Structure 1
């Protein structure tokens, strides 16, 4: 055997001689791999660190038996001449019996390093095992977790079953796979989520998020938050992995906070109750309901349960595309009707039914329609303040929208809680107004029946019904045969003003009956009493005496304290204001002095005393109102006295007034035979 032939071989070659296995030859690759090992030395001497490994025993067997042996992927730990980062290196060995050219016996070894192949295979095996275990962990996590985990292909379409999805939605794997998942999404959310998902598949953002409602296997819908991310291999998206998490509670809390914030913004700086209720109706629709109508119960304080209910509609709102309910402002609802039941029970009335088919007891026969067409549920919510149902709120949803339920009732309770303070104020105002009006009406008595003298009185409260006025009038006969007329107005529009008005009226009646004094003197004594007893009070007043200085003749003695002047209208329609006895209003001047004047009352003339509500208009000069009154009184003077008063109220108050109006009209008789009396009677 010529050993030089192995020098250029790409693998290591070694030849040992004799039973001691002395190194006889090594080629360049062998020396480069294992280092320079001296020839002539035994293998055990050259490789002492392999003496205990058992590898060298192979040389003995091959030398003794002549049978070749091969070892594959053998790990060798030596101090190699060229250290690497691999640590243990791997080799494959082939040993066979050999005879040299001079007849010596030995063992020929061929050695090839396979470290890269072994470590590469091991790496693949480890990665495969890790992937297998990761897949097992993933499947176990998906099966045991509370979240819904799903996997789609790079262009969408579910590719793997999801036990969580099936558990939540009830969809089987055949129903779920591909794009079948969209069928479990709420109909109103399908288009938005499909558009957002398509955009994500096209643009491939690092993270996709969305919130939508899923149909539950048990019925109904809940909000779920979706989070997904693309799985990449380099620059290529190979799949998408995502989760769906139940966020219904968080969504409801966020919704509640948002609605409260919107309600706060919508009702900020609103003082009027009807405006506040209208603003809240605009928040309720469309977030909570498709329709909302709010009624006030003006008779809430004195209505007995079980009696007819008067309900005034003050606010309404409906979702775009739905028809308005029939217009009405006030109606009477019989006992047992849905709204009356809600008011009497003081608890919400809630009903769910097929669209357009409410139960019979929610729509009594012959009643005006109050539910929107196609409604599938309704909540009648009583707003109870201090034990009294002060308002009723009706809400409904239509078509295939999710019916109203406990969640919506809770939201209504929160939103309408904002109205408790203004409603409480309104109820308190109603109580005060009822007392004041009762007091006021008790003092507005019928005029006395005086021979040859016509007297008519009128009282009209403010048409806005916003305040209780301090207006009063009075007419009574005196012991000397004269007729006393008074009219006045106490400052303020509340119960204290009405009480003070009644006290001043009665005080003036007592002072007038006590002594036969000039009207100015009586007003001065009243003024002193006002400044002594009512420190913060001011009032206007007219005190007049209609006297008969001679048979068939009438005259007027009068005093005016800060009040609009009396109007005298002659039988021929000539009208003028009596302005000679003017003085400051009561309670203003520390040492008052009220003037008096006397004015003849021509036959057939009409004297009119009135409060400022008849002539004053906001933003208008008083002279305009006085001239308007003078003109209308002149035109109506030929009417009978009662008709004259009604005509004035109808003509002068064509514009809604902001104040109460009181009137006292006196007509002296015509001179017999002048024709005016018959003419007036004919009209």
Structure 2
């Protein structure tokens, strides 16, 4: 017989049938006497409280119960006779002196139970207490877990709502198809859209017209593909009609791998976008100016940086000869040259890129030059003031509906060298103060390369003027026809060192000179000028063979110009009495040989008086001279290497081509002869070309 049964038998004589509770699903305990001594427990009671020995008063029995106040309820029910009940109260039992370890486990685990306590009378008329107990730990724990999870979810939702409100203030929720079903008051306030207009696809209408199609395609593609995060930057229309850049973030809400809805939030990134645009435009402007070989090309490329980022149309005007503000007086008009004009794609082509403009002294552009300060204005679409835009652009700007413009001076090394005129059209926002300042900054950041380009341009102008002052027309000589040609290379921006010269000496001889100084800069032009003038003086000084004259030129060059240079030339004297016969006395210093073409069409290169380039011989070494008879009707051609050299072929091929071509032109008029020879190299040439041709009377 079990201990539980033995305990029951002790009370059998009292007539209380406690054994009926042995298999009850709830815990049953009986206490007797004023001390409430434990007299009976069933199996369920034992499972709830662990092994509690019979015959021990309740206070001592539950000395390990942390919630001792619960025992007061039991004692009160015993004293008053009024039943006491409690539901899902916590209780914690553990190790206690005098009590064995609880069966529920060690280290005191909190549990929950419901009980009812009723005063009873035992068979011997001894008062007792019947305690019925049900453990509800699992139920209460599950309910608490549900409550905690629910509270945590509400807290997360509140946190998310607070976060999105703080960061974006513009939130919406769409269904799985990407159609908005819920929105926020912040979105409605920001965009001015009523709730009904936002639902479905309506929210897309707040995107800038130029961004709307791209946003729509990207959004519904994301709905189909369901990435973990969708991001897209676009311009969002606000309630006041203005547009600001925003970044849309949308995340799918999934359940069992299926998208239930999307949560979208817009963050304003206007300031970040402006900063990034500024950095990008400054980088592009600096690179464009640095990589452009000339000032005109630099200005042209800079206009493409402004359009379409900051304007729909931009033209740049260079002051005539880079005149300063003193040219823009109250009386004199200001000459300018438009050297660049860029129009946003989609607009009708604007005014031609290059044109001369005469700006009145009271015009905004002239005032900008005088005051060195920018100006900008807004006006009704198409009502462009005549004193604000350049005369050549006013009509086009009015037709395009221009409504805002900015005019800025470009200062380089403290001097106003150009004026920038930029305009916007259509539904684009007017040019703002910030945009105008950014335009000015772009040109200020390009100052150093612009300064270098302008200095080079001025140097080239001086060198070109010097060169052209020396390329004088050949003299008119009885019985002789002389023609000269000079063609600058289309591939070289700088001036070259090619030159020709022709004059008649006192002895009647006609001198022909062709020369080439290596380089394409002011130094080459100066060396060319110095060499030409020295050679002319030496040829006039005394009658002697051309080789001797070139030797004296070597000596003079060593004394007067010791710096190294690469200079070649041909010096020739055409000698003979009036009516002939004539002969050629010549010397070649490292230069391509003269070509002699007869009336019958035979062509010969004269290479029997070749020597190395000027300055390459010591003063003691003589230079060669050679004499060749000139038949009637022949053509003598002196030329620089640009006529025969090409980068993709050997020099011999160029000489053969020249000879064949000249042979076919043997009886053409001398001007036609020269022009035809220039025509083919002009298409592919990489160098300047100088030519000097002489024709004798025909037989």
With the length of structure 1 as denominator, give the TM-score of the two structures.
Answer: 0.74
Please state if 1:593 is matched with 2:623. Answer: yes
Q: CA deviation at 1:269?
A: 8.3
Please state if 1:213 is matched with 2:222. Answer: no
Please state if 1:91 is matched with 2:124. Answer: no
Q: CA deviation at 1:600?
A: 7.5
Q: CA deviation at 1:199?
A: 4.4
With the length of structure 2 as denominator, give the TM-score of the two structures.
Answer: 0.72
Distance 1:102 1:580 in 2: 156
SS across alignment from 2:488 = coil
Partner of 2:29: 14
Contact persistence 1:98–1:105 (CA under 8 A) = yes
**CA, structure 1 residues 609+589, in 2 after alignment: closer, same or farther (shift >3 Å)?**
same
| Matching residue within 352, 355, 370 for 1:331 | 355
After TM superposition, the structure 1 = structure 2 runs for residues 660-675 of structure 1, keeping only pairs within 5 Å, are 660-661=689-690, 663=692
Distance 1:295 1:179 in 2: 48
Q: CA deviation at 1:152?
A: 1.7
Q: Deviations over 1:276-324 (max 9, x none)?
A: 77777777666666666777778447995543223445x86753x5544
| Matching residue within 497, 503, 507 for 1:469 | 497
Q: CA deviation at 1:486?
A: 3.7
SS across alignment from 2:203 = helix
Contact persistence 2:486–2:688 (CA under 8 A) = no
| Matching residue within 598, 621, 636 for 2:654 | 621
Partner of 1:152: 173
Partner of 2:640: 612
Partner of 1:308: 335
SS across alignment from 1:95 = strand
Report the aligned-residue RMSD.
5.1
SS across alignment from 1:525 = helix
Q: CA deviation at 1:333?
A: 1.3
After TM superposition, the structure 1 = structure 2 runs for residues 135-174 of structure 1, keeping only pairs within 5 Å, are 141=163, 143=165, 145-148=166-169, 150-152=171-173, 154-155=175-176, 156=178, 162=184, 164-165=186-187, 168-171=190-193
Partner of 1:653: 678
Partner of 2:13: none
Please state if 1:181 is matched with 2:203. Answer: yes
| Matching residue within 459, 481, 496 for 2:523 | 496
Distance 1:348 1:163 in 2: 43
Partner of 1:432: 459
Q: Deviations over 1:117-149 (max 9, x none)?
A: 444454555555555555555555555x24336
**CA, structure 1 residues 497+28, in 2 after alignment: closer, same or farther (shift >3 Å)?**
closer
Distance 1:529 1:269 in 2: 41
Distance 1:523 1:483 in 2: 17
Partner of 2:12: none
Q: Deviations over 1:145-188 (max 9, x none)?
A: 24336352553555665465456545565655665433333333
SS across alignment from 1:190 = helix
Distance 2:411 2:28 in 1: 104
Distance 1:514 1:102 in 2: 165
Q: Deviations over 1:174-228 (max 9, x none)?
A: 6556654333333333333344444444554433333333234565333333334
SS across alignment from 1:82 = coil
Distance 1:21 1:409 in 2: 96
Contact persistence 2:514–2:690 (CA under 8 A) = no
Q: CA deviation at 1:83?
A: 1.4
Contact persistence 1:44–1:51 (CA under 8 A) = no
Contact persistence 1:223–1:251 (CA under 8 A) = yes
Partner of 1:34: 49
Please state if 1:544 is matched with 2:573. Answer: yes
Distance 2:319 2:665 in 1: 39
**CA, structure 1 residues 141+285, in 2 after alignment: closer, same or farther (shift >3 Å)?**
closer
Contact persistence 1:334–1:340 (CA under 8 A) = no
Contact persistence 2:324–2:416 (CA under 8 A) = no
After TM superposition, the structure 1 = structure 2 runs for residues 118-517 of structure 1, keeping only pairs within 5 Å, are 118-127=140-149, 141=163, 143=165, 145-148=166-169, 150-152=171-173, 154-155=175-176, 156=178, 162=184, 164-165=186-187, 168-171=190-193, 180-217=202-239, 220-231=242-253, 240-255=262-277, 299-300=321-322, 304-305=327-328, 306-313=333-340, 319=345, 321-325=346-350, 328=352, 330-336=354-360, 358-361=384-387, 373=400, 384-387=411-414, 399-400=426-427, 423-444=450-471, 458=484, 460-462=486-488, 464=490, 466-478=494-506, 482-492=508-518, 493-517=520-544
**CA, structure 1 residues 97+398, in 2 after alignment: closer, same or farther (shift >3 Å)?**
same
Contact persistence 1:472–1:489 (CA under 8 A) = yes
Contact persistence 2:66–2:93 (CA under 8 A) = no
SS across alignment from 1:496 = helix
Distance 2:121 2:38 in 1: 14
Distance 1:489 1:193 in 2: 66
Contact persistence 2:49–2:104 (CA under 8 A) = no
| Matching residue within 66, 82, 89 for 2:103 | 82
Partner of 2:667: 634
Q: Which runs of 5+ in 2 are unaligned?
A: 1-15, 95-100
Q: How many residues align?
A: 649
Partner of 1:639: none
Q: CA deviation at 1:540?
A: 1.5
Partner of 2:556: 529
Distance 2:343 2:212 in 1: 27
Q: CA deviation at 1:582?
A: 3.5
